[in-house]
A and B are shown apart, each in its own frame.
Chain A
Amino acid sequence: MREEHMQQVKRWALYVKEHPEEWKQKLKKFIDAQIIIARRAYAKLAKTEQGREKIRIIRQMKGGTK
């Protein structure tokens, strides 16, 4: 694991700890954006030829965990 990345993880965790109200709005934008972008990609894929089948395969790859 890159040390700089772990430092970034620590810096953000400290920010969250010290700003218990502010972090939620900042994080919301990030969390929502990645879901919205992924939904858009799936929706686009679903409209393509064999798109539904590809989605089924992607879901199968995730599978169920023991």
Chain B
Amino acid sequence: MERKVEDKTILDKFLEDFVNVVEKHCKYIVVSGFVAIAHGRSRGTEDIDMIIEKLEKKQFILLHNDLIKARFECIQSENPEIIYEDYLIKNTSVRYIRKGEFLPEMELKFTKDELDDLQIKERIKLPFTGLDVWFSSIEMNIAFKEEYLKSDKDIEDAKHLRIIYGKEIDENKIKRIKDKINKLRMKK
């Protein structure tokens, strides 16, 4: 069920405009807090987290230039070579905003390991949100929030998603993802 225009938030419109540019260049996923918020979780946020496929420098410059044409700007630098070499390729995120606006921000990073590659591979559209964008799976989001991020806010986000999806959630899949998180991100 598509979200009616009058129901779309500032965050929804910002995301859709950003995605309209990004999807012409690469695969992407929206992850973390906004996934919960798009499912009705009642909490504030100033940013949306996005992971994109790792791009060659030339490809990234084309993407960045299209974002500029669409009136976005990068907080870290105007120079796409600096954004690429000093941040993205070193697995550090960068932030884009609408030109002249302080908020919201899109926190953008490249995939950095097989867990991120898996998130991209298993990306999914979530009709409940009413948004035509790609998200990482509900199981992936719950696993990251419960096993890796673990703040009060993250545990509440996970609980919210668990209530929304109830028995549709694949607990075995969450267990497998948590094992991967421990192996790849926490080196247990």
Contacts and interface: CB of A to CB of B under 8 A. Distances in A.
Interface of A: 1, 5-6, 9-10, 12-14, 16-17, 20, 23-25, 27-28, 30-32, 34-36, 38-39, 42-43, 46, 55, 59, 62, 64-66
A6 B44 CA distance: 16
Contacts of A43: 102
Interface residues of B, number: 41
A9 B101 CA distance: 31
Contact of A65 (B10, B109, B164): B109
B186 interface: no
A16 to B, nearest CB: 3
B159 A6 contact: yes
Contacts of A28: 7-9
Interface stretch (B85-93, B133-141, B171-179): B85-93
A9 B95 contact: no
Given A9-B159, A27-B40, 12 more contacts: A6-B159, A10-B163, A12-B41, A12-B42, A13-B164, A24-B130, A35-B10, A39-B101, A46-B102, A64-B95, A65-B92, A65-B93
A6 B156 contact: yes
Contacts of B155: 1
B160 interface: yes
A31 B102 contact: no
Contacts of A62: 47, 95
Nearest to B9: A31
A30 B163 contact: no
A42 B102 contact: yes
Contact of A24 (B3, B75, B93, B104): B3
B159 A20 contact: no
Nearest to A29: B9
Given A34-B44, A66-B91, A17 B152 contact: no
